[in-house]
Amino acid sequence: MNILRNEIRTGLLVVVTLVALVALLLYLGAPGVFVPQHKYRIFFDNAAGIKPGAQVLLAGRKIGQVRSLFSPVPEKDRPTPKMETLIEVQVDRDAKIYNKVKAQMTQNSLLGESVIDFTSGEEASGLAADGATFLGERPGGLADAVPAVLEKLDPALTKATTTLDSLQKTADNLTRLTAEGSDLPMAFAEFKKTGANLSELTGPAGPLTLALKNVQTLTSDEGKLGKAFGHLAEITGPESALAHTLANTEKFTASLTNNRDIEVTLRNFRTSSETLSRTITNLGTQFSAVGDNLQQASDTVKHQPWRLIWPSTKKYDEPEAKPAEVRRALPIKKSPARR
């Protein structure tokens, strides 16, 4: 009886141990069986480094694990064309994951495994419901840093290449300019000849030196130009005849300015010129009348010459002739007497 009792106790102990072991395995491998949890879907462009069972963190604290991976996701199910990996995570239901949160795939250490960390959540956006979808981010690694660095260096490399090309062209141009028989050596040769010619011109026996000596000789006191200037100074000096003449001229003009007779003479001359103008005007009027009479007389001689003998026989074309017109038609010798 005691043996049977011991065997039953041993069997119960083994069964309890097996149940505890299975429960522990289920708790560790499937925490959702004993602890209420939420599932979330996170899209990434690449799932490299992540695997099922990887830790899921909330601001560095473990709240769950990666449940499954799907890659590539059909294009119709992708939120954006580049998001071709879907990761399903399972986290504690009490974990406060908000609708606006940053889901990032990171590494705890340089050689550590990749984990998913929820950070920078906005409480105002509210808690995310079970099955919510997020867009994940991947920090740039070494493989991503090289293209980024090359992209940043590309403009500098392009400018450096352009600068080197310009320097090469400049060097080629300098080589052509300084080559034998080119323009630059010939210009230096001509400049050298010009310097030699200038040296000859300005030398002690050069033409320029001789010309300066001649100018100096001409402008000296004993030279022709110096003597000419001396005579000119004597003519224009304060005691010269020209100075006396200018002084006398100044006195004469001052006398004319102070004398009132010139003003009276000019006034009389103006009055005489006005009288002469009126006289000439009157003479012009008289000569005009005489011209008219001469014209009428010549017309009478041409068309009615007998009027010179019988003045009363003049014929008038117009029916109504005025007496003044009849009088103008009389002979020339009678017109001045009537006037």
Query: Do residues 54 and 65 make contact, with C-beta atoms less than 8 angstroms apart?
Result: yes
Q: Is the pLDDT of residue 269 over 50?
A: yes
Which pLDDT belongs to residue 118? 92
Q: Give the Cα separation of 44 and 105 in Å (integer).
A: 9
Q: Is the pLDDT of residue 23 over 50?
A: yes
Which pLDDT belongs to residue 101? 92
Based on the fold, state whether residues 49 and 124 are members of the same structural domain.
yes
Based on the fold, state whether residues 1 and 50 are members of the same structural domain.
no
Which pLDDT belongs to residue 254? 74
Q: Is the pLDDT of residue 183 over 60?
A: yes
Domain boundary among 90, 114, 139: 139
Domain-embedded: residue 222:
no
Which pLDDT belongs to residue 329? 45
Q: Residue for token digits 């102990």?
A: 13
Model confidence band, residue 22 (pLDDT cutoffs 50, 70, 90): confident
Based on the fold, state whether residues 130 and 41 are members of the same structural domain.
yes
Domain-embedded: residue 212:
no
Query: Do residues 158 and 164 make contact, with C-beta atoms less than 8 angstroms apart?
Result: no
Q: Residue for token digits 């300084």?
A: 178
Q: Is the pLDDT of residue 158 over 50?
A: yes
Which pLDDT belongs to residue 326? 42
Query: Do residues 27 and 34 make contact, with C-beta atoms less than 8 angstroms apart?
Result: yes
Domain-embedded: residue 259:
no
Q: Is the pLDDT of residue 121 over 80?
A: yes
Please give the residue range of the domain that contains residue 329: 284-338
Q: Residue for token digits 């495994």?
A: 113
Which pLDDT belongs to residue 89? 92
Domain-embedded: residue 202:
no
Based on the fold, state whether residues 103 and 190 are members of the same structural domain.
no
| Two tokens, residue 267 | 């006034």
Burial of 96 per CB tally in 10 Å (0-12, 13-18, 19+): middle
Q: Give the Cα separation of 298 and 295 in Å (integer).
A: 5
Q: Is the pLDDT of residue 60 over 90?
A: no
What are 208-247's pLDDT values in tens digits?
A: 777 777 777 766 766 666 667 666 676 676 777 777 787 8
* 3-class DSSP assignment, residue 60: coil
Higher pLDDT, 305 or 64: 64
Among residues 41, 119, 131, the alpha carbon closest in space to that of 93 is found at 131
- Measured from the Cβ of residue 45, the count of other Cβ atoms closer than 10 Å reads 16
| Two tokens, residue 207 | 């033409």
Based on the fold, state whether residues 77 and 9 are members of the same structural domain.
no
Which pLDDT belongs to residue 338? 41
Based on the fold, state whether residues 59 and 91 are members of the same structural domain.
yes
Domain-embedded: residue 271:
no
Number of domains in the chain: 4
Cα 313 vs. chain centroid, distance in angstroms? 101
Domain boundary among 197, 215, 233: 197
What are 65-77's pLDDT values in tens digits?
A: 898 888 888 888 8
Which pLDDT belongs to residue 323? 46
Q: For the chain, give the number of residues.
A: 339
Q: Residue for token digits 């300019």?
A: 177
| Mean pLDDT on 78-94 | 89
Which pLDDT belongs to residue 43? 93
Asked which of 64-68, 133-137, 326-330 is least confident by mean pLDDT, the reply is 326-330
Q: Give the Cα separation of 59 and 66 in Å (integer).
A: 16
Domain-embedded: residue 326:
yes
Burial of 53 per CB tally in 10 Å (0-12, 13-18, 19+): exposed
Based on the fold, state whether residues 332 and 308 are members of the same structural domain.
yes
Amino acid at 116: I
Domain-embedded: residue 306:
yes
Based on the fold, state whether residues 180 and 93 are members of the same structural domain.
no
For the whole model, what pTM was predicted? 0.38
Domain boundary among 130, 162, 197: 197
Domain-embedded: residue 120:
yes
Based on the fold, state whether residues 47 and 23 are members of the same structural domain.
no
Q: Is the pLDDT of residue 40 over 90?
A: yes
Higher pLDDT, 234 or 187: 187
123 Cβ contact partners less than 8 Å away, ≥ 6 residues apart? 98
Model confidence band, residue 296 (pLDDT cutoffs 50, 70, 90): confident
